[in-house]
Amino acid sequence: MSTAPARVSRRHLALAAAALLALLAACGASTTPSGTTGTAGSDSAPAGGTVTVLAAASLTESFDALARDFEAANPGVSVETSYGSSATLVQQVNNGAPASVLALAGTSAAEPLDPSLRKDTRTFATNSLEIATPPDDPGNVTSISDLAVPTVKVVLCADTVPCGAAAQATFRKARIVPNVVSHEVDVKATLAKVKLGEADAAVVYRSDVVAAKDAVRGVEIPPQLNTTLAYPVITLTDDAATRAFVAYLLSPAGLATVQSFGFDAP
Partner 1 sequence: MTSTAGLGPGPRRGAGPPTRNAGRWRTRVVLGVPAALALLLLVVPLVALLLQADWARIPSDLATPTVLPALRLSLTTTSITAVLCLLLGTPLAWFLARSDHPATSWARALLTVPLVLPPVVGGVALLMTWGRNGLIGQHLAPFGIQIPFTTVAVVLAETFVAMPYYVLAVEASMRGLDPRLESVARTLGAGDLRYLRTVAVPLVLPGIASGLALAWARALGEFGATITFAGNFPGRTQTLPLLVYVELERDPQVAISISIMLLAVSVLVLGVLRGRWLR
Residue 20 burial (C-beta neighbours within 10 Å; 0-12, 13-18, 19+): exposed
Q: Which stretch binds partner 1 (CB under 8 A): 24-32, 45-53, 155-163, 251-259?
A: 155-163
Among residues 54, 113, 155, 241, the one that binds partner 1 under rule CB under 8 A? 155
Residue 208 burial (C-beta neighbours within 10 Å; 0-12, 13-18, 19+): buried
For partner 1, which is the closer residue by CB, 117 or 185?
185
By CB under 8 A, residue 87 contacts partner 1: yes
Residues 11-30 interacting with partner 1 (rule: CB under 8 A): 12-13, 16
Residues 110-139 interacting with partner 1 (rule: CB under 8 A): none
Residues 6+ apart with CB under 8 A from 213: none
- In angstroms, give the least distance from the CB of 227 to partner 1: 19
- In angstroms, give the least distance from the CB of 21 to partner 1: 13
Residues 163-182 interacting with partner 1 (rule: CB under 8 A): 180-182
Q: What share of the chain is helix, strand, coil (3-state, %, to 5)?
A: 45, 25, 35
Rounded Cα distance between 22 and 193, Å, is: 42
- CA angle 253/110/263 to nearest 5° reads 35
- In angstroms, give the least distance from the CB of 133 to partner 1: 13
Rounded Cα distance between 160 and 206, Å, is: 20
Among residues 46, 129, 132, 153, the one that binds partner 1 under rule CB under 8 A? 153
Ranges of beta strands (E only) in 158-241 are 180-184, 201-205, 217-220, 228-235
Among residues 30, 68, 145, 198, the one that binds partner 1 under rule CB under 8 A? 198
In total, the chain counts a number of residues equal to 266
Name the site residues for partner 1 (rule: CB under 8 A): 2-3, 6, 9-10, 12-13, 16, 85, 87-88, 91, 153, 155, 158, 160-161, 180-185, 189, 193, 196-199
